[in-house]
Amino acid sequence: MDAEMTVVQEQAAEAPEMPEVLVSVRDLKKHFPVTKGALRRKVGAVRAVDGVSFDIMRGQTLGLVGESGSGKSTIGRTLLRLEEPTEGTVVFDGGDMAELSARGLRKVRPRMQMVFQDPHACLNPRMTVSSIIGEPLVEHLSMTSRERNERVEELLGLVGLNPEHANRYPHEFSGGQRQRIGIARAISLNPDLIVCDEPIAALDVSIQAQVVNLMEELQDLLGLTYLFISHDLGMIRHIADRVAVMYLGRIMELADVDSLYDNPLHPYTRALQSSAPVPDPAVEATREKIVLEGDIPSPSSPPPGCVFSTRCPEAVDRCRSEVPVWREVSPGHGVACHLVPAI
């Protein structure tokens, strides 16, 4: 009996632990009103985010990809309650964000930060780097001036910048260095979650890999959780643990990174992958490319049925009239498509 108990205990110890859910999003919608006339009468709504659900596991990276206008950045801002959701719930570490008062939101703010796309526009040109990074410390922590300066120097070292340059201004740094300053500001309060809104899109290609490698190092060092928004499929594959593919405010497919890239199920996912260049010239010359005709429809008047039906090369009549139900076709791999059979 004791031997059997020992075997059971050993098996339990060897079993991989399930990752903890840090952020749980359910049926999230964000509609912006369209008004007309002198009285600003509402005549419609832009459905920027139209009913999305996903989880972000603690210590992992969820990649969010899709064309411009698909609602990626709006999801990031709504998660942090920089935008108020129209419907749905965002649960952060067990607490519903919608139920937080202004005081409660202020308490949770240090745990949720954002890295913006344009490192020049998000830094105050009238403030020194020391003041920019130290501003969250002044706002949320009780620190002496000396302690704050020491923390700023520590943060600059963490992101690979010279602490002696703390009294310089943003215009004295390159684009990549300015993004490092933005990252230092984001991690200054030891957050749990960082929303990265296309943080490398405005950088030179030669600098992009350096910034992404820095973010991965900081994730390992500080135990950070990322929502990484991008249209660069190659970079998402490098940094993400799971990937969600968005189109016109909805998630088309969500899976772990290897499953999504090795076995894409949704026609839109396959089209996105075929548009990404392959570094091998021989493969690039022979592989099939899926060209989508037309432009992404207006989010103020999405097509009936599947929102991708107007551009999908595989669409049938059912796609144009019936909204596909989100289904998990294999463990951890979900898709919203009538044409994908259950596996």
Q: Is residue 340 part of a domain?
A: no
Q: What angle do CA 244, 74, 203 make, to 5 degrees?
A: 80
Residue 28 bridge partners (DSSP): 52
Q: First and final CA of the chain: distance in angstroms? A: 40
The torsion angles phi and psi of 21, rounded to 5 degrees, stand at: -80, 120
Q: Is residue 111 part of a domain?
A: yes
Say whether pLDDT at 270 is over 50.
yes
Q: Is residue 147 part of a domain?
A: yes
Q: Is residue 6 part of a domain?
A: no
More confident position, 291 or 186: 186
Q: Give the percent of the chain with pLDDT over 70.
A: 92
Q: What angle do CA 122, 126, 130 make, to 5 degrees?
A: 80
Say whether pLDDT at 276 is over 90.
no
Residue pair 84/72 in contact (Cβ under 8 Å)? The answer is no
Domain that holds residue 307: 21-31+45-335
- Write down the pLDDT at residue 1: 46
Q: Is residue 232 part of a domain?
A: yes
| Average pLDDT for 291-311 | 88
Residue pair 235/153 in contact (Cβ under 8 Å)? The answer is no
3-state secondary structure of 283: helix
The rounded distance, in Å, linking the Cα atoms of 70 and 46 is 11
More confident position, 260 or 206: 260
- Write down the pLDDT at residue 171: 94
More confident position, 274 or 47: 47
**Of the candidate ranges 138-147, 289-298, 314-323, the one whose mean pLDDT is the lowest:** 289-298
Q: Is residue 282 part of a domain?
A: yes
CATH number at residue 61: 3.40.50.300
Q: Is residue 255 part of a domain?
A: yes
Say whether pLDDT at 58 is over 60.
yes
| Average pLDDT for 86-103 | 92
- Write down the pLDDT at residue 235: 86
**Of the candidate ranges 15-19, 131-135, 298-302, 303-307, the one whose mean pLDDT is the lowest:** 15-19
Nearest to 219 by CA among 157, 158, 161, 154: 158
Q: Is residue 231 part of a domain?
A: yes
| Average pLDDT for 286-311 | 86
Q: What is the pLDDT of residues 144-161, one digit of tens each?
A: 999 999 999 999 999 999
Nearest to 166 by CA among 141, 175, 180: 180
Say whether pLDDT at 53 is over 50.
yes
- Please state the domain count of the chain: 1
The rounded distance, in Å, linking the Cα atoms of 136 and 113 is 11
Q: How confident is the model at residue 284 (pLDDT cuts 50, 70, 90)?
A: low
Q: How confident is the model at residue 7 (pLDDT cuts 50, 70, 90)?
A: very low
Say whether pLDDT at 278 is over 90.
no
The rounded distance, in Å, linking the Cα atoms of 79 and 77 is 5
Say whether pLDDT at 10 is over 60.
no
- Write down the pLDDT at residue 180: 95
Say whether pLDDT at 285 is over 80.
no
- Write down the pLDDT at residue 274: 84
